């Protein structure tokens, strides 16, 4: 039987044009760091090198391996691995760029891959083992941008599954924990926390770093505009920290999300933003670490703080040096500090330190972190001594209400229900032996109950009906 040349041509054309299915599997990822919540993508000539094509994102298979399938009729596949954009693309172990990977497009084949490092976290890292990048892809709604979020957990965190912790948020997250990602040195916050945790009197806390916006840093960390330098987007940044970053941290980790256990800190323009947030959100943050604040940027900040009801329950820790490179730094700080005292801020709730020789640098701020945080959280540390006291109430939950029984006859109980955004939804006092309160709409809330010098606090999960 004769077979025409046209048959062979048609057959081979069909083979060449058919789509092969190739599975790409990730066997190894960088330990420092592959953010836990980041999505990983494959990008190549089969999708016009789109680094965030959701069709080509890695997913867990039945064996918990990360893999993605590529269907293509190309004879060979060129590609790279990313975490959603080209600023998070893979690189070699030495931090150098790598050539495009190339694999033959063989049907039903499996390609095993190792990622040595990422371009945005390459370098010699100085973080402790309990520091992680939670995500580089947190969407900040008010800014309409993605942002990287760092977290340092207390060393005891894994071994204390029932315990909850205060949280402190730092601006300029690149500089907080790791010299490899810092602009000009790090704050060594993880080292400071380890030193504080060595003291039995210290109540461990979770520390969080929020990366600045790079070219947008000036705008994001200034709540008011400068006539020449612009800026003024700090209110949106603050909104994003409260409504996006804090919400993620409170959902992901065992936190004490009420204001008395929540702090914020920053330096330079970050010090400006910190002071603004302490006054703009006193029901979210009750502690502020204000290092070398660039108050010169806009006098509107000082006027804004003076005009607000003073957050008399908050604690503000101020630091600057005598060698900041700005002759107005200390006079500006002193004037603002004095004006807040005059406006009604209690002297006992603020502390100011002027350090001889202190400069406008990460090295100087790193030297002040331990002392500043010790002072800010002194009131939280004192509570630790009461944690093992006999309970004075019993709490049970039934559907959409809480039942509270007063175990000590005649004592007055004060309670607050607080949203994870810091809003006090209910504040009441009771003397009865038994009372019942309705819960808000489904969501996550914090119940704070206090009697005399004791307090008990519980996080409420109304969706699944348990405390």
Question: pLDDT digit string (tens) for 368-390?
Answer: 999 999 999 986 644 443 344 45
Are residue 369 and residue 457 in the same domain, yes or no?
no
Residue 11: pLDDT over 60: no
Average pLDDT, stretch 432-459? 69
Are residue 219 and residue 74 in the same domain, yes or no?
no
Determine the pLDDT at residue 387.
41
Are residue 263 and residue 344 in the same domain, yes or no?
yes
The reply to whether 11 falls in a domain is no
Non-local (6+) Cβ contacts of 367 within 8 A are 358
Q: Which of 464, 443, 440, 467 is nearest to 456 (CA)?
A: 467
Three-state DSSP class for residue 230: strand
Please write the tens of the pLDDT for every residue from 316-327: 999 999 999 999
Are residue 323 and residue 355 in the same domain, yes or no?
yes
**Tokens at 60, concatenated:** 């867990």
Domain that holds residue 429: 393-461
Q: What angle do CA 155, 156, 159 make, to 5 degrees?
A: 135
d(CA 442, CA 465): 9
Please write the tens of the pLDDT for every residue from 444-453: 667 777 766 5
Return the biggest CA–CA distance within the chain.
106
Residue 407: pLDDT over 80: no
Are residue 351 and residue 251 in the same domain, yes or no?
yes
For the chain, the domain total comes to 3
Report whether the peptide linkage leading into residue 33 is cis, meaning its omega lies within 30 degrees of zero. Answer: yes
Are residue 191 and residue 230 in the same domain, yes or no?
yes
Query: Of 57, 86, 118, which residue sits at a domain end?
Result: 118
**Tokens at 461, concatenated:** 């999960």
Please write the tens of the pLDDT for every residue from 246-275: 999 998 999 999 999 999 999 999 999 999
CATH number at residue 237: 3.40.50.1820
- 466, with CB counted inside 10 A (0-12, 13-18, 19+), is exposed
Determine how many CB atoms are found less than 10 A away from the CB of residue 87: 14
Are residue 146 and residue 269 in the same domain, yes or no?
yes
Three-state DSSP class for residue 277: helix
pTM of structure: 0.79
Determine the pLDDT at residue 134.
95
The reply to whether 305 falls in a domain is yes
Are residue 208 and residue 109 in the same domain, yes or no?
no
Query: Is residue 366 a contact partner of residue 187, using CB atoms and an 8 Å limit?
Result: yes
Instruction: Give, rounded to a whole angstrom, the gap between the first and last alpha carbons of the chain.
Output: 81
**Tokens at 448, concatenated:** 């704070």
The reply to whether 285 falls in a domain is yes
């Amino acid at each position: 039987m004769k077979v025409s040349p046209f048959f062979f041509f048609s057959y081979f054309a069909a083979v060449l044009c058919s789509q092969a299915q190739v599975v790409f599997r990730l066997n190894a990822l960088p330990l420092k760091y592959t953010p836990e919540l980041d999505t990983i993508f494959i990008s190549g000539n089969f999708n016009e090198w789109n680094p965030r094509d959701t069709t080509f994102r890695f997913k867990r298979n039945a064996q918990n391996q990360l893999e993605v399938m590529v269907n293509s009729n190309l004879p060979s596949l060129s590609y790279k691995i990313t975490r959603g954009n080209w600023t998070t693309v893979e690189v070699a172990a030495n931090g150098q760029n790598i050539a495009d990977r190339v694999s033959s497009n063989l049907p039903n084949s499996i390609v095993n891959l190792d990622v040595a490092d990422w371009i945005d976290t390459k370098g010699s890292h100085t973080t402790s083992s309990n520091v992680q990048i939670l995500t580089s892809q947190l969407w900040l709604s008010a800014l309409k941008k993605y942002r990287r979020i760092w977290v340092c957990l207390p060393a005891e965190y894994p071994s204390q599954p029932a315990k909850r912790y205060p949280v402190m948020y730092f601006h300029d997250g690149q500089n907080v924990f790791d010299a490899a990602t810092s602009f000009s040195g790090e704050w060594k916050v993880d080292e400071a926390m380890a030193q504080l945790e060595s003291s039995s009197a210290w109540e461990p806390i979770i520390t969080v770093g929020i990366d600045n916006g790079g070219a947008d840093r000036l705008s994001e960390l200034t709540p008011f505009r400068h006539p020449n330098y612009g800026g003024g987007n700090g209110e949106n940044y603050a909104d994003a920290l409260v409504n996006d970053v804090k919400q993620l941290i409170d959902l992901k980790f065992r936190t004490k999300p009420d204001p008395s256990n929540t702090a914020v800190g920053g330096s330079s323009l970050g010090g400006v933003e910190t002071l603004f947030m302490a006054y703009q959100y006193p029901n979210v943050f009750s502690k502020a670490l204000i290092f070398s604040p660039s108050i010169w940027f806009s006098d509107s900040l000082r006027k804004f703080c003076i005009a607000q009801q003073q957050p008399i329950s908050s604690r503000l820790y101020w630091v600057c040096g005598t060698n900041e490179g700005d002759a107005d730094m200390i006079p500006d700080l002193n004037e603002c500090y004095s004006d807040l005292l005059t406006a009604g801020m209690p002297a006992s709730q603020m502390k100011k330190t002027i350090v001889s020789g202190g400069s406008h640098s990460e090295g100087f701020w790193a030297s002040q972190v331990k002392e500043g945080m010790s002072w800010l959280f002194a009131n939280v540390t004192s509570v630790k001594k009461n944690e093992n006291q006999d309970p004075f109430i019993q709490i049970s939950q039934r559907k959409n209400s809480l039942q509270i029984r007063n175990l000590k006859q005649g004592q007055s109980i004060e309670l607050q229900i607080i949203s994870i955004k810091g809003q006090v939804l209910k504040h009441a006092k009771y003397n009865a032996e038994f009372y019942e309160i309705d819960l808000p709409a489904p969501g996550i809330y914090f119940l704070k109950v206090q009697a005399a010098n004791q307090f008990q606090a519980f996080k409420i999960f109304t969706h699944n009906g348990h405390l």
